[in-house]
Every structure is written in C-alpha cells, then in structure tokens.
Structure 1
Amino acid sequence: MSYCNYIINNPSENSDYLLHKHYHDNQYGFPIDNDDELFGRLLLEINQAGLSWTLMLRKQESFRAAYSNFSIEKVAQYDDGDRERLLQDPGIIRNRLKINAAIINAQKILELKKEFGSFKKWLDANHPLTKAEWVKLFKKTFKFTGGEIVNEFLMSTGYLPGAHDDDCPVFLKLASNR
C-alpha cells in the first residue's frame, strides 16, 4: 500500500496516524529551501535506517534539540564531548556510526556551501539526476548514505518523483505550485 493510500483510506485519531498524516500533508515531497532543514531531513533519513519512520516522526523534535536545531555550522563543530552527550540522549537514536555521520556530513555541507553557496544550490546544481546517479554522488560525498536513504531524502524533498500517488490531493497541490 502506498503512503498516500494509507493516509487517505485509513483515517484514525491515534497519535501515530496523526503524525504520519501531518508529515504526508505538509512535508513529504515538499521542497525545502533552508539548508539547516535539508540537513535535518538528511539526518532523520540516516537515523531511520533499519528502523521505522514512525519512530523518526516521534523523535523529530528530540533530534532537533539534540542537534542544535539542525544548525549545520554548530553540528560541524561538535567534538568528542558532543558525541558522548548524543550517545547518552534517550530522545534520539544512539548509534555511534549515525552520530559520526551527522557530524562529518555537516562538515561536508560546509565545504559544499563554500563552493556552491548553499546545500540547496548544490542539490539544484545536480538536479535532475537519476536515482542511481544521485546514490553514487551521495555515497561519494557523504557518510551513511545508501540507496534507500538517498531515495527517501530526495523524494521527501521533491528532487525525485514518487512521494505521492498521481491522484493524491497533495500531489495535485504540489504539481500546481511548480
């Protein structure tokens, strides 16, 4: 079942459904112009690997707090003390590889910003690529970015198609804004 069908055909008042509905209706597939928010989405996608997206949606605000409001500049400066703080934070995924990837990826984004002006401009400069080309580029550029992580990050930010079914009201809304 597609994400859109789940949202449209299974309405519920439970908190997990409402988290997914809000994400589907207001974030998934929507372009993000702010570099820190793009970084935050990439960080969440990396941390979701092997886990559920529901968990990421539940922990999104804890991640935001733990990672300095997703500030690329601040996360790029994190040291061993910050790594230990994150490893002890029950509000996030406490995986050393994922924490290190966040810090290294923030540092890499700072390098990209020097060359391209922003993370978004780097993404725009490489758009459109095929999924395979994006995956190759991300693996060369960033840490902990396999095919599914790259695919979901790019679909969720509007760089790859497929976030919404063609008959989904959100798909129609996004299509009319292009």
Structure 2
Amino acid sequence: MNEIKKCLWALKTKLEETYHDAEWGVPIYDDAKLFEALSLELCQSGLSWHTILNKREGYRAAFNQFDLKSVAAFDDAKIEELLLDAGIVRHRAKISAIINNAQCILNVQQEYGSFSAYIWQFTDNKTLVGNWQSKEEVPASTDLSILISKELKKKGFKFLGPTTTYAFMQSAGLVNDHTTDCFRFDACK
C-alpha cells in the first residue's frame, strides 16, 4: 500500500495536517482571506503555528471574520477588550499591527483596486514554484520576501519582516513550497 507523502511540518498535529492538506499553498485572491492569512502569520511570529491554528476561530470572532472596514475602525477601547480575550494571543503590538494593517489594506485598495491585485503583482500574478526536495531546502525568506516586506513597510504595514512575509506568501499560495514528494505539490502549482 502506498503511503501518501506530505510535507514533514504538517505531520506534527492533526490540526496542522488538516490545514496543510486543504489550505496551505492554495492561491488566495479574496482580500478578507488575504488579510486573515497576513494577520495569522504576523501573530505566529515567535510562536508555534499550532498555537495560532488552535486560536484561529478565536481570531475570526475577535476580528469580525477579518472584515477590513470593521477592523480598521477598532479603537483603543477595543484593543483593551481584545487584550482580555483568551481566544487569541493577547499581545498588544500584534493586535495593534492587525488593526493598522487593515487600515493599510484599505489604502492599498484605493490605489490598486484590491489588496489581491497589489500583492499578486510581485509574482507576476502566478504562483512561484519552489521545487524543493526536502524541508531543509525551503528558505525562511527570499529576496522577493525582503522586497515585499520593504514595500509593505513603505505603505505603513507593521510586524511584517521578510520571514513573516515569506510565511504569508507560502500560506496564500504566492509560492508553492510543498516539497516535490508531497501529494499537494502538483495541486498547488
């Protein structure tokens, strides 16, 4: 019997495996879903991905299903409320960054029509394929993630260094970093 091959990181927990099998690397074009991916990746910084996936529904509830206009309007009182919410990681700088980034995405939408159009222009509107044989080959950041991080910062985005930006690119399908032996590799090309 042939065993289905998967990226090794996805085998840590059932939650990570389910996310890997259904979502990771699948191209996202919807601005609210891109905002969610961007927000979850910035929240993951310094923590395990499992921790963030475990709190994903809490984030969705706390940030109104990642409705951009709603989140962009959050004020200091809302930040204080969120700091008491056990359903999310209670980190003031990360919460503030999510709100700030919602405001930045609204500005990008005014300029480019959508955040999707803006972010996908960096890959010429196609998924970049890693063709990695092993997880050790997969980079933590690339020249492109460094460039995108700098461009996002110029537009006022926060908490999005090159490594976090690259993780966002992977999750949103801008890059396909499934290893070549993973059953999802061809599906996400």
Distance 1:61 1:119 in 2: 23
TM-score under structure 1 normalisation?
Answer: 0.87
Question: Is 1:30 aligned to 2:45, yes or no?
Answer: no
Report if the CA contact (8 A) 1:138-1:150 is conserved: no
Spell out the pairing of 1:7-22 with structure 2 (5 A cutoff).
7=10, 17-22=13-18
1:151-166 equivalence runs, <5 A: 151-162=166-177, 164-166=178-180
- Aligned ranges 1:73-88 → 2 under 5 Å: 73-88=69-84
CA contact (8 A) 1:25 1:170 kept: yes
Structure 2 distance, partners of 1:101, 1:107, is: 10
Equivalent of residue 186 in structure 2, options 153, 172, 176: 172
C-alpha distance after superposition, 1:121-147 (max 9, x if no partner): 111223248232122222323111112
1:173 match: secondary structure: coil
Residues 85-137 of structure 1, C-alpha deviations (whole Å, 9 max, x = no match):
11110110111111111111100100000111111011122324823212222
Aligned mates of 2:81, 2:70 — CA distance in 1: 14
List runs of 5+ in structure 1 lacking aligned partners. Answer: 11-15
Separation in 2, partners of 1:120, 1:147: 19
Q: Give me the TM-score of the superposition, normalised by structure 2.
A: 0.82
Do residues 143 (structure 1) and 158 (structure 2) align?
Answer: yes
Whichever residue aligns with residue 165 of structure 1, its letter is T
Using the aligned pairs only, state the percent identity: 39
1:67-146 maps to which residues of 2 (within 5 A)?
67-128=63-124, 130-141=144-155, 142-146=157-161
Higher percent of residues as helix: 1
Alpha-carbon distance in 2 for matches of 1:123, 1:149: 14
SS in 2 for 1:171: coil
1:5 equivalent in structure 2: 8
1:155 shift after superposition: 1.2
Corresponding residue number in structure 1 for 2:35: 39
Change (3 A) 1:49 1:40: same
Unaligned runs of 5+ in 2: 1-5, 125-142
Q: Deviations over 1:10-67 (max 9, x none)?
A: 5xxxxx7211111101111111121111101111111111110000010000000000
What number of residue pairs does the alignment pair up?
A: 165
**Offset, 1:81:** 1.5
Instruction: Report 1 or 2 for greater relative contact order, CA contacts < 8 Å, sequence distance ≥ 6.
Output: 2
CA contact (8 A) 1:42 1:153 kept: yes
Q: RMSD of aligned C-alpha atoms?
A: 1.6
